[in-house]
Amino acid sequence: MWTGNQVALRSNALALLVIGITATAGAGPLAAPPGRAGPAGSGYGTPGQPVPELERLKRSWQRVDAELRALDQLLPAEPEAPVRDLLSTPALPATLLRANQAPTGALQAAEATPAPPLALPSPEQLQLGSVAGLSLEQALALAFANSASLQGQREQVAAALARFQAAMGSYWPTISAFASGSYEGSRATTTSRQANDNLGFGPQFSPSGLLTPSNPSSSATQPGVPTAGPFYVPKGGSAGVTSGEWAVEGGLQLNYALLDFARTPSVRAARARLEQQRNSYANQLRSLQLQVSEAYYQLQQREQLVRVYDANLRNDLVVLQESLDLKQAGLVPRLDVMRRRAILAGGEEELIQALADRAVARRQLAVLLNLPPSITPSASDPIAVQPRWPLNLEQSLLEAYRGNPELEAILATRTALAEQGQATAAGLLPSLSLFAAAGGSASRTSLDDFTLRAGGCCGSTVLPLSTTNGWDWSVGLTFTWLLFDAGSTAAQARALARQEAATAQQYAASRNDIRLRLEQAFFNHEASLAKLSSARRGVAAALESFRDVRLRYVSGLSSEVDVSVTQDQLINSLVRRINATVDVNVTYARLLRELLPVPRDPAQPVQPVLQLQISDSDRP
């Protein structure tokens, strides 16, 4: 970074070089011409006496010499040895040259397949592969097919469509099937802590309530032996059993909302969200076409500037050779050669920067097209001026507002918020639902591993293996009414209403932005057409001037300064013409972005449109 003193030193040194003054250390003092003494006030003193004016000039030159020496000490040391051959140019960086290779052919469809979305490039893919040329129409078609952001918006539209279809299903009942199967095993032991002969239930519960023959096989009648009744349980008697049960049940269940005030607003909100996503997709198509068009036009501009600065550098070499020849012939001073050498160095810098700008512009277009890492695009279309915009400003604004997907997306969002607010508020209203269910069940129970102790217990009927089958059904209504929720539902409805109001303000802001963008593009388009006409005349005049001054310089009728000034004017006029041409195309693309017809449905094909097509009745 130069300080203020350093800048002043550099300015003084450059001024001295321009006027041709050189100061060297140890220069002798200046004196009046010998034998001549001027009158008083003439600037010459008498012999042997110093002249005040010459002394002041001498001291001034000595200060300039000191400043130049200080400037030499402030300048950084040269990293390389000084160039001996004035006509030589330094080699350009190899990486920059590889990035600016000429295209090997047109881009093929198989080469433009994008990499997988979740894949990272390998080191081999990051190396520069091939440079392929493509037209603007091809670039737009590739962008519409390969753009990752556009593909993501297509997925958003598909997701919104699925949510709308899910909301439409709320008008239909739900039928579900249910089934279950299980196995349950257990081991139970029952023990009687008191005999049951004191209940007064008769001899069936008595320990000796029955008389049985002593010899059942004998036919003679004999006195019986007292025995316990069949239901008698002594104190301490117990019985253990192991049981296992297999059970299966299944059926159908139906639920249907007979009265649901939130259902219809929810469906309408889902439909509005779908429209919002579709309009966002259409607006993104417009934005993507503008981005690709601007990147393509910028690449054309960078490539033309490389050609201009390359031709300028070649011309600098020719003029420098002429200056060397004229200097050797004694027709021009050494100053002309040094100035041409400085101009040549400046031309080299401009060409190097132009090459870097073209490499960056190529990569920017490749990113927008989502090309494979090894493919570098190049613009194959020559620069062609777009025609004048066919509509006037008022018609352009009216057409831009009509069916604008950016505005339609905001309106759809506002509608979705309003319907969602109604669905939320409906949570405070009652709801009525119908339910019905029918099914059957079956089970199988097995008892085994019986154990009796102390006379047994609990002699109920025992079924070692049994099955149970059953059927059941139910029909009913469910009535729900939220009576109190501490104001949560009402607060959510108010929040959605506020969001709806904010969306209206967003619509106003977008409407104003559209007008500003269109007016800027319209006025700049008109200005670019006018500047292009002036730039064409300027190029023609500058070219003729440069031809004349070159001939005059070689003939000794003009100075190198005239050649430099005229050459700068020619280069600047060429650059202005290129910039004006690109500005015409860019502003046309920006105007087209606001009126471009695009589909709302991602399933429909997208055709690149480079010019606005209007009927004769719509022309101003």
Beta-sheet pairing, 224-227 with 130-134: unpaired
| Among 38-52, 249-263, 405-419, 425-439, the least confident range | 38-52
Q: List, in sequence order, every residue forming a beta bridge with 253; answer none if it has no partner.
A: 176, 437
Query: Is the per-residue pLDDT at 41 higher than 80?
Result: no
Query: Is the per-residue pLDDT at 47 higher than 60?
Result: no
Q: What is the pTM of this model?
A: 0.77
How many beta carbons lie within 10 A of that of residue 459, not counting itself?
Answer: 13
Q: What are the DSSP calls for 418-453, one per residue?
A: HHHHHHHHGGGS-EEEEEEEEEEEEEEEEEEEEEEE
* Higher-confidence position of 153 and 85: 153
What's the pLDDT score for residue 240? 84
Q: How confident is the model at residue 86 (pLDDT cuts 50, 70, 90)?
A: low
Measured CA to CA, the distance from residue 203 to residue 209 in angstroms comes to: 4
φ, ψ for residue 487 (rounded to 5)? 80, 10
Q: How confident is the model at residue 218 (pLDDT cuts 50, 70, 90)?
A: low
Considering only the C-alpha atoms of the chain, give the largest distance between any 2 of them, rounded to a whole number of Å: 195
Measured CA to CA, the distance from residue 301 to residue 307 in angstroms comes to: 10
pLDDT tens digits for range 161-209: 999 999 999 999 999 998 999 999 888 888 888 887 777 777 777 777 6
What's the pLDDT score for residue 387? 92
> What average pLDDT does the segment 391-408 reach?
95
Q: What are the DSSP calls for 30-88, one per residue?
A: P-PPTT--PPTTSS---TTS--HHHHHHHHHHHHHHHHHHHHHHHSPPPSSPPPS-TT-
Q: How confident is the model at residue 77 (pLDDT cuts 50, 70, 90)?
A: low
pLDDT tens digits for range 87-144: 666 677 888 888 888 888 888 888 888 888 888 887 777 776 789 999 999 999 999 9
| Domain coordinates in residue numbering, the chain | 1-24+49-75, 134-165+265-417+491-618, 175-185+230-259+431-480
What's the pLDDT score for residue 10? 39
| Among 256-260, 320-324, 493-497, the least confident range | 320-324
What's the pLDDT score for residue 83? 56
Query: Is the per-residue pLDDT at 221 higher than 70?
Result: no
Q: Report which secondary-structure segment, H or E, holds 133.
A: strand 130-134
| Among 211-225, 497-511, 516-530, 588-602, the least confident range | 211-225
> What average pLDDT does the segment 313-333 reach?
86
Query: Is the per-residue pLDDT at 494 higher than 80?
Result: yes
Query: Is the per-residue pLDDT at 261 higher than 70?
Result: yes
Give the CA angle between residues 347, 350, 356 to the nearest 5°: 145
> What average pLDDT does the segment 588-614 reach?
92
Say which DSSP state 112 is in.
Answer: G
> What average pLDDT does the segment 613-617 reach?
70
Query: Is the per-residue pLDDT at 23 higher than 80?
Result: no
Query: Is the per-residue pLDDT at 42 higher than 50?
Result: no
Name the superfamily (CATH) of residues 134-165+265-417+491-618.
Answer: Outer membrane efflux proteins (OEP) (1.20.1600.10)
Nearest Cα to 377, choosing from 96, 99, 136, 131?
131
pLDDT tens digits for range 342-376: 888 899 999 999 999 999 999 999 999 999 988 89
Most confident of 177-191, 225-239, 528-542: 528-542
> What average pLDDT does the segment 513-539 reach?
95
Query: Is the per-residue pLDDT at 217 higher than 70?
Result: no
Assigned fold of 175-185+230-259+431-480: Outer membrane efflux proteins (OEP) (2.20.200)
* Higher-confidence position of 560 and 150: 150
Please, what is the average pLDDT of the chain? 83
What's the pLDDT score for residue 15? 38
> What average pLDDT does the segment 398-409 reach?
95
Contact 444, 246 (CB under 8 A): yes
Under 8 Å CB-to-CB from 555, ≥6 apart: which residues? Answer: none
